[in-house]
Structure 1
Amino acid sequence: MLVMGIDTSTTQGGVALLSGQGVICEYTLNIKATYSERLLPLIDRALQDAGITLGQVEGFAVAVGPGSFTGLRIGLSTAKGLAVVGGQPLVGVSTLEAMAWTLPFCTHQVCPILDARKGEIYSALFRHEGDRLIRLMDDAAIAPDILLRRIQQPTVFLGDGLVVYEGLVQSQLKELAFFPPLAGRGGRPAAVAELGRRRLLRGDRDDLVQLAPQYLRPSEAEFKRLDKFTPVGSS
């Protein structure tokens, strides 16, 4: 089954085409240009370079977060549009789960962290058992200190949250903290494609109307709107 994976959760995202024979192509960028500028050109290039038409894609997988609110909306709306045009099934994939999937057969638990700003991170905990990924903690928006206090065993950390919090993780966990090389710290669209392909092969498909980004907390605009309508003197 030929699947297109789309990941726009963080600045490091892109597009991949994957089949039962492996990754056909994968394009990943980590630049400041918005996904409204770069996503469709990446999709077009992937299809052209692979010599594949959109109609040959048998299913779509899209990262649904947590992550960048704007990026997630662009990725999900694009994936939905492509699925509607061709009538192919679409499934959503947890961004953090897809990141943990990139470290197969890791003997330690895996902790992806994304910078959620406002002093928080998006995070979860996973463990690999053979070719299965076992979730140990639900996706959460959490203060780094609270997460680190929960970790009592060797853990591999990855994700863009390390840009801000690697020093904190190292100082608090010391020999319990492990970090992949720079090339292995970000997400991969091919991981989204593979996890999505597994679901599609089981016959899963998400409802295009109901499938939504997993924000985990209100957006900045929603925070401002809530503040605006909070009664004076309320606690």
Structure 2
Amino acid sequence: MLLLAMDTATPAVTVALHDGETVVAQSSQVDARRHGELLLPAVDRVLEEAGLTLDAVTGLVVGVGPGPYTGLRVGLVTAATFSSVLGVPVHGLCTLDGLAYAAGLDEPFAVATDARRKEVYWARYGDSRTRVSEASVDRPADIAEQLAGLPVVGAGARLYPDAFPDARDPEHQSAAALAALAAEKLAAGGEGAEAGFLDPLPMYLRRPDAQVPKNYKVVTPK
């Protein structure tokens, strides 16, 4: 098994290789505006560090979000392209699940990432492997009471300390954690939705910022 994992649903452009037992190589850069520019060089870096070529990959893992429209598409399109070229499967995972797994908590907690517009993407967890709510997008003040007393993992907790006073690491997503979670599921014989894998399709939770203008002037030839 050699999994190539990537996630561009958050400001972290993160890539990792996992051989089924351990992380072989990884790269993470935090830059909310350069996902398309940074992802492929990161893939090249981890392959070079591992001394491997892309055709050695036997499966792909990709974070499906939730995340902003443009950045999220970069990872998903790249994973889909590699899958088509290599003829290997793509395993989608909720981005929040990667952060939860990396936190390693064995108590109830939540994960919150920055959704912009003064909102967060969030979900509740029973432990680091078990999500107990659907991913949602809300204003921090609107969910503060629901999450009162719970640790909250991720950048969303640090951005809104009044709503989430017990912020926990990691702050940013890691493809290494996403790959390790996928490898664990696959080693247990899990496939598809029953194992927690998702279709590699974008989880937006809301409409993109770009909209077709209303009442625009139609110009027709004379």
> In 2, distance between residues paired with 1:168 and 1:134?
23
**Which residue in the other structure is 1:155 paired with?**
150
Deviations 1:11-53 (A, max 9, x none): 1231000123311111111135511111101101110110111
Aligned pairs for 1:64-103 within 5 A: 64-103=64-103
| Post-superposition offset of 1:203 | 5.7
**Which residue in the other structure is 1:180 paired with?**
168
**Which residue in the other structure is 2:135 paired with?**
139
Tell me if the contact between 1:14 and 1:28 (Cα under 8 Å) persists in the aligned partners. Answer: yes
Aligned pairs for 1:102-121 within 5 A: 102-104=102-104, 106-121=105-120
Gaps of 5+ in 1: 171-177, 230-235
After TM superposition, what 4+ stretches of structure 1 lie above 4 angstroms from structure 2? none
Deviations 1:115-169 (A, max 9, x none): 21223211001022xxx722221100112122111125x4221222234212332
Q: Percent of aligned positions with the same letter in both sequences?
A: 32
**Which residue in the other structure is 1:191 paired with?**
177
| Post-superposition offset of 1:85 | 0.7
**Which residue in the other structure is 1:219 paired with?**
208
**Which residue in the other structure is 2:196 paired with?**
none
Residues 186 and 160 (structure 1 numbering): CA distance in 2 closer, same or farther, change over 3 Å?
same
Give 2:161's match in structure 1, choosing from 152, 166, 169.
Answer: 166
1:168 aligned counterpart, secondary structure = coil
> In 1, distance between residues paired with 2:156 and 2:168?
13
2:126 aligned counterpart, secondary structure = strand
Aligned residue type for 2:209: E
1:116 aligned counterpart, secondary structure = strand
Please provide the CA RMSD for this pair.
2.1
**Which residue in the other structure is 1:204 paired with?**
191
Residues 151 and 33 (structure 1 numbering): CA distance in 2 closer, same or farther, change over 3 Å?
closer
Aligned residue type for 2:214: K
Aligned residue type for 1:69: Y
> In 2, distance between residues paired with 1:13 and 1:125?
24
Q: How many residues align?
A: 209
1:167 aligned counterpart, secondary structure = coil
> In 2, distance between residues paired with 1:147 and 1:8?
25
Gaps of 5+ in 2: 194-198, 216-222
